């Protein structure tokens, strides 16, 4: 397990440790920011096309809600999170999976330096600004198998106008973070050599599918 931490961390693991006990209740509310949560997970699974033996890495697995379906499909499943209590919840749900404590902002740990057919994540990357999103995801392509794909479901909007509409509707439930804006993200990914597709799933959630980039850029 990788236990390194970042100095002056705006998102320390401790903030998520206490949430582990109530996380599954939070995502079931169908209120901002989790409007369409189940639909996002279902669509990620469909896009990933899980089958026995498929090598899958779930980044920021939380309590294992997304990962569970891949275990049930017989995938070779690896899961990361930087919160030990979250990992414990996930391990209880999915005892057959491999678990690695890891902060996505740090280099890929040795345990994960192996090919993965699918790299997935749900409701994690909105904690990172766009530059860091690109940096983290680009660094994962060396461990993505040829023909593989990275699939990211998260709090996302087509553009700033759509974000403002949801912000007004959400009222006091709104908490400002680095939510994805597709019209900014897609050009940033493409300029870094990534092939990207985006689908809006709900008013405040969408899915990005990334495929093999030209790493010479």
- Structural domain boundaries in the chain: 13-211
With 90 as the cut, is the pLDDT of residue 102 above it?
yes
pLDDT tens digits for range 105-159? 999 999 999 999 999 999 999 999 999 999 999 999 999 999 999 999 999 999 9
124 vs 153: CA distance, rounded Å: 8
> If DSSP codes are grouped into helix, strand and coil, which group holds residue 157?
strand
Q: Which of 104, 102, 105, 81 is nearest to 93 (CA)?
A: 81
Instruction: Quote the tokens at residue 179.
Output: 């939510």
- Where residue 2 falls among pLDDT bands split at 50, 70, 90? very low
Q: What is the pTM of this model?
A: 0.92
Q: Which of 121, 122, 113 is nearest to 141 (CA)?
A: 113
Average pLDDT, the chain: 93
> In which residue are the tokens 């920021």 written?
60
Q: Over the range 7-40, which residues count as b (16 or more CB within 10 Å of their CB) and which as e?
A: eeeeeebeebeeebeebeeebeeeebbbbbbeeb
**Alpha helices (H) in 94-181, listed in sequence order:** 130-138, 160-170
Residue 23 has what pLDDT?
93
> Check: CATH 3.40.50.150 for 13-211?
yes
Q: Over the range 65-104, which residues count as b (16 or more CB within 10 Å of their CB) and which as e?
A: bbbbbbbebebbbbbbbbbbbbbebbbeebeebebbbbbb
């Amino acid at each position: 397990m990788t236990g390194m931490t970042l100095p002056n961390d705006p998102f320390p693991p401790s903030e998520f440790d206490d949430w582990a006990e109530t996380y599954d209740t939070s995502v079931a509310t169908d209120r901002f920011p989790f409007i369409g949560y189940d639909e996002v997970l279902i669509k990620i699974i469909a896009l990933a096309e899980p089958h026995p033996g498929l090598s899958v890495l779930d980044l920021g697995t939380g309590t294992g809600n997304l990962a569970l379906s891949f275990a049930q499909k017989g995938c070779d499943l690896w899961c990361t999170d930087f919160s030990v209590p979250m990992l414990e919840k996930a391990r209880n749900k999915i005892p057959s999976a491999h678990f690695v404590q890891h902060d996505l902002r740090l280099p890929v740990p040795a345990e994960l330096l192996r090919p993965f057919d699918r790299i997935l994540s749900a409701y994690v990357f909105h904690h990172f600004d766009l530059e860091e999103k690109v940096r983290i995801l680009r660094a994962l392509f060396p461990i993505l198998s040829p023909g593989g794909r990275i699939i990211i479901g998260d709090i996302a909007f087509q553009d700033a106008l759509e974000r403002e509409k949801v912000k007004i509707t959400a009222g006091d439930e709104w908490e400002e973070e680095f939510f994805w804006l597709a019209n900014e993200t897609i050009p940033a990914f493409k300029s870094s050599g990534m092939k990207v597709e985006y689908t809006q799933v709900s008013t405040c959630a969408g899915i990005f599918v990334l495929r093999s980039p030209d790493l010479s850029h």
